[in-house]
Every structure is written in structure tokens, then in C-alpha cells.
Amino acid sequence: MEQTFIMIKPDGVQRGLVGEIIGRFEKKGFSLKGLKLITVERLFAERHYADLSAKPFFNGLVEYIISGPVVAMVWEGKNVVTTGRKIIGATNPADSAPGTIRGDYAIDIGRNVIHGSDSVESARKEIALWFPEGPVSWSSSLHPWIYE
């Protein structure tokens, strides 16, 4: 089953959106396989966003991510990478549809509340970085009520 890495950013934690965001993934039917509240160091944030290191907003992005605790999660389910990105909405909240997390709770691209892996390969790398101990192995008893 596919897994993705989802992070509630410091603004999402400060604004009390943790329960709401987790609820959206849970209610969809995805399974939570890893969860930690963690404040990361600059070098760690730079590693997570290494692909963006040449972007003009890179330093500001790193400052934002290290500015407070984040909630790091692994979610599992069929097509969870793509569907998770749909639940989250477009990167720039100005373009995120109402009903998505960013569409409902964010205004500025520099405070967009949540991160989700953009591909299965990125998810694999991000889960390995944030959960070196590996995700938690368990099976939801609801599985037959969610999948045929």
C-alpha cells in the first residue's frame, strides 16, 4: 500500500489546525502510520527542502519551518500521494479550491499550513528522513469497509 509524508507546518500548529487536518485524512479512510511533534534544526530543514535550495525564497522557507514545532506524519492508502495533494490543495493558497486544507485555512504561499510529498519517490525519501525508525506497522480493522 502506498505511503506519503505529510507535515503540518509551524503556522498550522500555532493556529490549532492539527486536529482538523488529521481528521480530514482519517475521515477520507487513510491510515496513520507515523506521527510526531518535532522542532527541527536548520540543517534538517535544509535537507528536507534541498531540491529548492536555488530558489530565492529558500532561506525564508527554512526560517519558517524551524520557527516552531511541526507535526510530521506518515499516511497510508491507495493513491495516497496524489489524493493527499488534492486534500491539501494547490501550493499557493490563492489558487487552492475551497474545501481543500489550504483553500480553507491559508492565504499566503509563505504560510501555507501543510506539506505533502509530491511523488511516490519523494515520499520514500521524506519518510526515510523524518522517520528513520520506520513507520508504525498496524492494520486498520476498517479496511474491508473502505476497500473492496
Ligand X SMILES: Nc1ncnc2c1ncn2[C@@H]1O[C@@H]2COP(=O)(O)O[C@H]2[C@H]1O
Rounded Cα distance between 67 and 10, Å, is 7
Least CB distance to ligand X at residue 115 (A): 3
Q: Can residue 51 be called a binding residue for ligand X (CB under 6 A)?
A: no
How far, in Å, are 29, 37, 122 from residue 70 at the CA level?
23, 6, 19
SS3 of residue 70 by DSSP:
strand
Q: Can residue 103 be called a binding residue for ligand X (CB under 6 A)?
A: no
Rounded Cα distance between 39 and 22, Å, is 19
Is 143 considered catalytic here? no
Q: Can residue 112 be called a binding residue for ligand X (CB under 6 A)?
A: yes
Q: Can residue 61 be called a binding residue for ligand X (CB under 6 A)?
A: yes
Q: Please identify, among the stretches 11-19, 34-42, 104-112, 136-144, the one whose residues bind ligand X according to the rule CB under 6 A.
A: 104-112
Bridge partners, 72 (sequence order):
7, 36
State the DSSP code for 135.
Answer: -
Q: Is 91 annotated as a binding residue?
A: yes
Q: Is 30 annotated as a binding residue?
A: no
- The footprint of ligand X (CB under 6 A) covers 52, 57, 61, 91, 109-110, 112, 115
Binding site for ATP, by residue number, is: 9, 57, 85, 91, 102, 112
